[in-house]
Amino acid sequence: MKQRILAGQHVSEIGLGCMNLSHAYGHPLSEADAAKVITEAVELGVTHFDTAALYGFGKNEALLGKLLKPHRQRIFLASKCGMTGVDGKRVIDGRPATLRATLEKTLTSLKTDSIDLYYLHRWDKNVPIEDSVGELSRMVEEGKIQGIGLSEVSSHTLRKAHAVHPIAALQTEYSLWTRNAEISVLEACAELGTAFVAFSPLARGFLSGKVTDSSGLIEGDIRKGMPRFQAEHMQKNLPLLTALNGISQVHQCSMAQVSLAWLLQQGRHIHLIPGTTKLPHLRENVKASNVTLSGREIETLNRVFDHQKISGKRYPAATQLEIDTEEF
């Protein structure tokens, strides 16, 4: 796998987002099936694994701690704090004491003495970003984390945080059909030397052509409540896949691989963490590293997937209020 720099380390340019092994898209995998995914990823050369205290309300970290412990010295481990499960509910809390308590539990769950990259999962708008990042910087001084990351924040918030301590990575949704990062965050990351980590690079399955409405999704799948997966918006978005499919046929690869290749060619500071529970999809995603699009093909995709042509918000209204990213 081709490598890129993240928090001072060389990592596979395509990593693995581990959320849906335990969280968000319906029934979690059994430990045995999750082990097959993790083992296959390691064998394919994936070295960047991304989790969070929120996922499965701690179960995802515990799962990865067990499965990745034999590989710990040769993999890059990222997790997140500031949004956790409390009494069965998702809670955003960026107070220093809460972040500290979350870290200690995370270290135990992940069976490690230090985390390579530790994100503030959400900026708690009741707590100055400087206070939250200040606590994270003390964790760096103690050697308990190696780099600080931020998730779903604006370029303005990134700059404020970076003034307290260098921010190693910023993570937010970025794909052909979610282009908000292009407003200013991508440029700010490049200027500050901050890596950009794209989650949901396949638009939660839409860009693969495998998830094109919410009718077949099981209860508990968060996409059922997302505007873009509702029929009124999906009917308007489906025609976008025609051009994507055409380019994939030229390259004799999948639409998912073209989508990931497009992202990788947006900048050397960009990292991808597609998630999957299926081994064929994992193998397919990793091979996207070998696809190179022409300048004309990139121009075509940029034109077809212009943000003005995307129908529907990416989050429901209540969730939208929790994030800090720039919006078109």
Question: What tens digit of pLDDT does each residue of 84-103 get?
Answer: 999 989 999 999 999 999 99
Question: Which two structure tokens, joined as six digits, stand for 271?
Answer: 């990292």
pLDDT band at 214 (very low <50, low <70, confident <90, very high): confident
Sequence ranges of the domains in the chain: 3-204+263-290
**Which comes out higher in pLDDT, residue 219 or 69?**
69
pLDDT band at 294 (very low <50, low <70, confident <90, very high): very high
Backbone angles phi, psi at 31, to 5 degrees: -60, -35
pLDDT number for residue 276: 97
119 is catalytic: no
pLDDT number for residue 283: 98
pLDDT number for residue 225: 93
Q: Report the run of H or E that residue 296 belongs to, with start and end.
A: helix 295-304
What lies within 8 Å, CB to CB, of 317 at 6+ separation is none
pLDDT number for residue 213: 84
pLDDT number for residue 142: 98
What is the model's pTM? 0.97
Distance from C-alpha of 132 to C-alpha of 290, rounded to nearest angstrom: 39
pLDDT tens column, 7-45: 999 999 999 999 999 999 988 999 999 999 999 999 999
- Average model confidence (pLDDT) across the chain: 97
- Classify domain 3-204+263-290 by CATH number: 3.20.20.100
pLDDT band at 243 (very low <50, low <70, confident <90, very high): very high
pLDDT number for residue 216: 86
pLDDT number for residue 26: 85
pLDDT band at 205 (very low <50, low <70, confident <90, very high): very high
**Nearest to residue 203, comparing CAs of 113, 274, 131?**
274
Q: Catalytic one among 25, 55, 119, 315? A: 55
pLDDT number for residue 200: 98
